[in-house]
Copies of this chain bind each other. A is one copy, B any other.
Amino acid sequence: MSLTDTEGESVAMANHRLLKALRREQVDRTPIWIMRQAGRYLPEYRALRQRAGSFLTLCKTPELACEITLQPVQRFALDAAILFSDILTIPDAMGLGLSFAEGEGPCFERPLRSRADIERLRVPDPASDLSYVLDTVKLVRAALGERLPLIGFSGSPWTLAAYMVEGRGGTNFSRIKGMTFDAPKDLHQLLGLLAKSVIAYLSAQRASGAQALMIFDTWGGILSEHGYREFSLAYMKMIVEALRSGEEAASAPLILFTKGGGNWLEAMADSGCDALGLDWTVDIGRARSRVGHRCALQGNMDPAVLGARPERIREEVALLLQQYGYGSGHVFNLGHGITPEIDPAKVAAVVDAVHELSEAYHR
């Protein structure tokens, strides 16, 4: 049986370390990938970016986005590729006009300023409005073959809404928070539309070949617990339920990550997702005992550790593996994205340390 026919492909891939760990099945070693592993800390990324021009050109040109997605997995023994894209592709497809000013983060030309602005929005059709993302997914899958799984992703409805209402990053979120208090109906209308959009978008990524999916809730952590449940978690739960109800449900595990959400892990696990992403402020062993067998855990080394000496990095990897303890269900990662100034040799040190030191926990 050839590895390239459909059945062979799914069997080989289903046995991959990352997907097994996300399903909490036994693995030989703890799998590792790194948030923003395709990015500015890599000289080959910076070279391509310089030739191509803007960050958005890279995202929107499938051949380039594919090449960038593959860069880190060509260099390091990582256990997954993650789609090179941005969390704000959906609002961009809705017509808000995304751009990135150098060193300033994302900015929308037409942020939402009124009820009428919200009423004008439509759920984007991934096949037409976000075809560049799906084309990238297909190219990456063709290039990776059986070697590694590909993780697709989206921003969470709350996080997308926060950017769409604030217009840019770096604010104190007074507009979007104001809506939670004084215009909750309008906000719920927006969040409902975004949840539908994320469901269509992640389903399309999965249909195009993504084998695991992650929801980045970058700004859920700015809310109170009751605000988080009402305005962020409720909509992520909707997405989890919709993605689990289809035929392909079992084929792509779903990871939820709320930065700053360490207080709410039990509630997040109740959503029915397969895995929780953890930032570095959470003790992963304690998180495991709180969440029990309901979810795998992904994380959660402080990205700042990558600035340390290699021996110190190795110590921190050892500590984190020990905190998680014996058995499957751990996907090693940082607690947030890798930063641009990091020496790529440090990433190699982490990957090697994780693979080497984790074997003892899976015997």
A interface with B by C-beta (< 8 Å): 172-174, 177-178, 181-182, 221-228, 260, 262-263, 280-283, 286, 302, 304-305, 307-309, 312, 316, 319, 335, 339, 341
Contact = CB atoms under 8 A, between A and B. Distances in A.
14 contacts: A174-B341, A181-B312, A182-B309, A182-B312, A224-B280, A224-B281, A224-B283, A224-B302, A225-B281, A226-B319, A228-B281, A263-B263, A263-B281, A263-B286
Nearest to A312: B181
A223 B181 contact: no
A177 B312 CA distance: 13
A280 B222 CA distance: 9
A302 B260 contact: no
A71 to B, nearest CB: 24
Closest 4 CB pairs of A and B: A181-B308, A177-B304, A225-B283, A262-B263
A95 to B, nearest CB: 28
A341 B262 CA distance: 30
B304 A181 contact: yes
A221 B221 CA distance: 13
Contacts of A174: 304, 307, 341
Contacts of A309: 181-182
Contacts of A304: 172-174, 177-178, 181
A286 B305 CA distance: 32
Nearest to A283: B225
A341 B171 CA distance: 14
A309 B179 CA distance: 11
Given A177-B302, A260-B260, A281-B260, A225 B286 contact: yes
A316 B181 CA distance: 9
Given A221-B281, A260-B281, A263-B263, 17 more contacts: A172-B339, A173-B304, A174-B307, A177-B307, A178-B307, A181-B305, A181-B307, A181-B309, A181-B312, A182-B308, A182-B312, A223-B302, A224-B283, A225-B281, A225-B286, A227-B302, A228-B281
Contacts of A262: 262-263
- Of A302, A335, A341, the most chain B CB neighbours within 10 A belong to A302
Nearest to A229: B283
Contacts of A283: 224-226, 263
A225 B316 CA distance: 12
- Of A173, A224, A280, A283, the most chain B CB neighbours within 10 A belong to A224
A342 to B, nearest CB: 10
